[in-house]
Amino acid sequence: MKKIFHQLLRATLLTSALLGTGLPTAQAADNAPVKMQALRGGTPVDQDNAPTAFKQERDHSPSDRDFVQQPPLIPHTIQGYQITKNFNKCMDCHAWQKTKASGATKVSVTHFRTREGQELDSISPRRYFCTQCHVPQTDAKPLVENTFQRARGLQ
């Protein structure tokens, strides 16, 4: 339950960050001026906010999944792992030709299909930014109580 919450939270934060918007403004009346507040606050885009306190998880064995279609949680630290236009640190270990040496799980076969359904021989662009879907997990108290339960088939 915690896992899913954190994943959703992460996804929401990420989406908001990408869209550059903060809270939904749908309630604003049509012609009222909309005040946009980005997650980065008033910091100009050519500057970074000071990092907030966060703790990297220690490496552990793979976590159970809560439903079969869930992107598995990352069971190891990803501190310093860069995913840029030219380089993807995750694929250093998770690419099919690297897994024998690294012992990492091969990226899923679903990750080679483009959104048009074409099968590629390397990672599909829509699966390039791994941490868009895969996140490490902290065993923390849920920020908001919820009643989520693991899918019955996996209980």
Query: Does residue 115 contact residue 54 with C-beta atoms inside 8 Å?
Result: no
> Shortest Cβ distance from residue 76 to ligand HEC (Å)?
5
Nearer to ligand HEC, 38 or 83 (CB): 83
State how far the Cα of 71 lies from the Cα of 9, in Å rounded to an integer: 14
Continuous H helices in 20-98: 91-94
User: C-beta of 117: minimal distance to ligand HEC in Å?
Assistant: 14
Name the residue nearer to ligand HEC (CB basis): 5 or 128.
128
Q: 130: how many CB neighbours lie within 10 A of its CB?
A: 21
Nearer to ligand HEC by Cβ, of 75 and 142: the residue is 75
Q: Which of these, 123, 6, 124, lies nearest to 70 by C-alpha position?
A: 6
Positions that interact with ligand HEC (CB under 6 A)? 61-62, 69, 71-72, 74-76, 78, 81, 88-94, 102-105, 107-108, 110-111, 123, 127-134
Q: Which residue has the tokens 């879907």?
A: 133
| CB of 63 vs ligand HEC, minimal distance in Å | 6
Closest separation in Å from C-beta 93 to ligand HEC:
3
CB 136 within 8 A of CB 78: yes
Q: Which is nearer to ligand HEC, 102 or 149 (CB)?
A: 102
